[in-house]
Structure formats: C-alpha cells, structure tokens
Amino acid sequence: MRQEPLEGPWLDDDAGRLVRPYTVSNGRTKPTAQFDLLTMVMATGERPRSYLGPDHTHVLQLCGGPVSVAEIAAQIAQPAVVAKVLLSDLVDCGAITSRAPVRAPLSSDPTDRELLEAVLDGLRRRL
C-alpha cells in the first residue's frame, strides 16, 4: 500500500529524498562562510536580491528566530555540509546573520558546580 509523500513531491516514504544532496548544493561541498554545528543563525529581514531556489527559501523560513546549523540540517533532512552551503549563500546575500558558539572557559575541575548549574539552568529554560 503506497502512502502519500511526507513533505511534498521531493520526499517519498519508500524511496526517501528524491533530490540528491549534491543537487541541492549545486555540487558544492565547501561553504563560503565558517560554520560550526552549534553556530546560531537568524534572518535579518533583508530579502535576497535574486531568487536562490526553493531550498534556500525553506532554510530562510526556518531562520525566523535564532536556530543552530544542526537544527537547520535536521529540519531540511540534509547532511550538515549541505545546510552549511545553503546558509553561507544566505549570509553572502545578507539574508541571515550568524554567531559562533561561545566557548565555556576550561576548568581543571570536571565537576565545577558553577558550570553544572549553568547547564542545568539552560536545560530548564529550554524545556
């Protein structure tokens, strides 16, 4: 019994994604901007001057609020490198901004109470 596609014509339950990742990124494997999986991206409100494609439009819609590169990759069901290429195109045209993750200072004590409380507070706010 055949089911309807999960997300429009480009995703099929049996076959999976019908458009290959290299097609989505136009064969590119290196983004022009530097991204970490934890880099936060957000739309600037500026519209690209030219139409970039449906995948760029979808990614831009996901960037309404701060969202990580890893979350974008998961939402578009593509490898992280493809998401990074799409995001770098959007950064290049001024449609989104990015902020690298803030690194916590390394502590000699792996059970640093202050750090553990900060993590716990962050989890409580997120849930």
* pLDDT of 8 above 60: no
Most confident of 25-34, 71-80, 110-119: 71-80
Q: Based on the number of CB atoms within 10 Å of its own CB, is 60 exposed (0-12), middle (13-18) or buried (19 or more)? A: buried
CA 58 → CA 32, 64, 77, 83, 121, distances in Å?
Answer: 19, 11, 12, 11, 32
The per-residue pLDDT for 48 is: 82
- 17-56: pLDDT as tens digits: 555 666 666 667 788 888 999 999 999 988 888 878 888 9
The per-residue pLDDT for 47 is: 85
- Average pLDDT of the residues of the chain: 80
* pLDDT of 59 above 90: yes
Higher model confidence: residue 25 or residue 116? 116
The per-residue pLDDT for 63 is: 94
Overall average pLDDT of the 65-85 stretch: 92
* pLDDT of 12 above 60: no
Break the chain into its structural domains and give their ranges: 8-126
CA distance linking residue 77 with residue 72, whole number of Å: 8
